[in-house]
C-alpha cells in the first residue's frame, strides 16, 4: 500500500500483544459487561488539556452518539481507545478487557472507521479488504469469504471488482465500514464518518450502521458534530472542550437541560458550562 493506514494499527498493535487476530471470541458476561468503558480519562498536549476526567459507557448491541463540536476531544478519545496514543490517566476497557494490560483481547473485539479516508484508490474493493484481512492474520480463502459477506451486508457486492477511485464518497465510507467488520468485532467506532457526504449518503450510512446494531448485536460509538444524526432512541454523550457535559438517553437529556430538541439542549448545556466552568449536576 502506498500510504499509512491508521485503521490497520489496531490490528498491528494487538498482534504485538499476542499473535494474529482471529474472529472475536466470547466476551466476558456480555449481558453485564459494557462494550466500551471509559473511566476517568484525562489527556493533555503539553499544557493544553484535550480531555478532562472523561467517563462513560457504551452498552452491548446499542447505538451511542458522541456529540461534540470540532475541538471537543472526540478524535483524541478515539486515538486513546485504539492505542494510537498512550493513556496518560484513567482506564479504558472493551468488554472487560483493559486496553493497556490486555491489548490483544481488547482490540480484536474492536472495529474502527477513522475520519480520514484510508483506502488504496488504485486497488479494487475486494483487494482493499484482502489487504486489511492479511493484517489481521486472516487467511486468503477465509478473507474472500468474509469479504463477500460484508460487502453483501453493506450493499456493495456488485462493486467487488471495481477500483476504489470509481466509487462515490458514500460507497467509500460503506467500504471502510465493511473493512472494519472483517474480523467480526463486537464494538464499532466511527469518527465523523459522514464528513463531506451529501444528505442522502449521510442518511444511508446511518441506516446501515443502525441496522448492524439491530441485526448483528454490535455496540456502536458514533462521533459527530451534526445534531440530525442523533435519534431520540440513542444513548448520547455530550462532549465539550474535553469535558462530558451530559450522558444518557436523548429524551432524558433534552428534558433535563430544559430544551425543546437536541439542538437547543446542546446550546443550553454548553453555554452553562462556558459561563460557570463546571458541569451541571
Each residue's pLDDT tens digit, 177-198:
999 999 999 999 999 999 888 8
**Considering all CA atoms of the chain, what is the largest pairwise distance in Å, rounded to the nearest integer?**
58
pLDDT at position 220 is: 97
Strands 219-224 and 110-113: unpaired
**More confident call, 77 vs 11:** 77
Residue among 131, 106, 148, 143 nearest 15 (CA): 106
pLDDT at position 115 is: 85
Interhelix angle 169-180/125-135, nearest 10 degrees: 30
**Which residue matches cell numbers 449536576?**
281
Length of the chain as a residue count: 281
Mean pLDDT of all residues in 62-91: 95
CB 99 within 8 A of CB 107: yes
CA distance 44 to 48: 5
pLDDT at position 17 is: 39
Non-local (6+) Cβ contacts of 6 within 8 A are 82, 84, 114, 116, 118
Residue pLDDT, tens place only, 79-112: 999 999 999 999 999 999 999 999 999 999 999 9
Please give the sequence-ordered ranges of beta strands (E in DSSP) within the chain, or none if there are none: 36-45, 48-58, 63-67, 89-94, 97-98, 110-113, 187-191, 219-224, 235-240, 243-249
Is the backbone of residue 168 left (phi > 0), alpha (psi -120 to 50) or beta? beta
CA distance 141 to 119: 21
pLDDT at position 268 is: 94
CB 172 within 8 A of CB 164: yes
Mean pLDDT of all residues in 129-155: 91
**Which residue matches cell numbers 480520514?**
116
Q: What are the beta bridge partners of residue 94?
A: 36, 97
pLDDT at position 227 is: 94
Residue 1 pLDDT > 90, yes or no?
Answer: no
C-alpha cell at position 256: 433535563
Q: Provide the mean pLDDT of the chain.
A: 88
- 23 C-beta neighbours (distance < 10 Å), count: 14
Window from 7-16, 25-34, 230-239, 271-280 with minimum mean pLDDT: 7-16
CA distance 181 to 156: 14
Q: What are the beta bridge partners of residue 249?
A: 235
Mean pLDDT of all residues in 244-251: 95
C-alpha cell at position 184: 467480526
**Which residue matches cell numbers 490497520?**
8
CATH 3.40.50.2000 describes domain 6-25+48-92+99-276: no
Mean pLDDT of all residues in 126-139: 92
Residue 281 pLDDT > 80, yes or no?
Answer: no
Window from 18-27, 44-53, 214-223 with minimum mean pLDDT: 18-27
In the chain, the percentage of residues whose pLDDT exceeds 70 is 88
Report pTM: 0.86
Q: How many helices (H) and strands (E) does the chain have?
A: 9, 10
Amino acid at each position: 500500500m502506498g500510504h499509512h493506514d491508521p485503521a490497520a494499527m489496531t490490528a498491528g498493535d494487538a498482534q504485538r500483544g499476542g499473535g494474529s487476530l482471529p474472529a472475536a471470541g466470547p466476551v466476558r458476561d456480555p449481558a453485564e459487561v459494557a462494550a466500551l468503558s471509559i473511566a476517568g480519562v484525562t489527556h493533555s498536549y503539553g499544557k493544553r488539556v484535550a480531555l478532562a476526567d472523561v467517563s462513560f459507557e457504551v452498552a452491548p448491541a446499542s447505538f451511542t452518539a458522541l456529540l461534540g463540536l470540532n475541538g471537543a476531544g472526540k478524535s483524541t478519545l478515539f486515538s486513546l481507545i485504539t492505542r494510537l496514543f498512550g493513556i496518560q490517566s484513567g482506564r479504558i476497557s472493551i468488554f472487560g478487557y483493559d486496553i493497556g494490560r490486555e491489548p490483544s483481547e481488547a482490540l480484536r473485539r474492536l472495529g474502527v472507521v477513522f475520519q480520514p479516508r484510508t483506502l488504496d484508490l488504485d486497488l479494487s474493493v475486494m483487494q482493499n479488504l484482502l489487504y486489511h484481512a492479511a493484517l489481521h492474520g486472516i487467511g486468503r480463502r477465509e478473507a474472500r469469504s468474509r469479504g463477500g459477506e460484508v460487502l453483501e451486508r453493506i450493499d456493495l457486492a456488485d462493486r467487488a471488482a471495481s477500483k476504489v477511485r470509481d466509487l462515490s464518497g458514500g460507497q467509500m465510507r460503506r467500504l471502510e465500514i465493511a473493512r472494519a467488520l472483517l474480523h467480526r468485532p463486537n464494538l464499532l467506532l466511527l469518527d465523523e464518518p459522514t464528513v463531506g457526504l451529501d444528505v442522502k449518503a449521510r442518511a444511508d450510512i446511518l441506516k446501515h450502521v443502525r441496522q448492524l446494531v439491530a441485526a448483528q448485536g454490535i455496540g456502536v460509538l458514533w462521533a459527530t458534530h451534526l445534531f440530525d444524526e442523533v435519534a431520540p432512541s440513542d444513548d448520547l454523550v455530550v462532549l465539550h472542550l474535553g469535558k462530558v457535559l451530559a450522558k444518557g438517553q436523548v429524551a432524558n437529556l433534552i428534558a433535563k437541560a430544559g430544551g425543546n430538541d437536541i439542538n437547543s439542549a446542546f446550546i443550553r448545556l454548553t453555554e452553562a458550562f462556558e459561563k460557570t466552568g463546571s458541569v451541571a449536576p
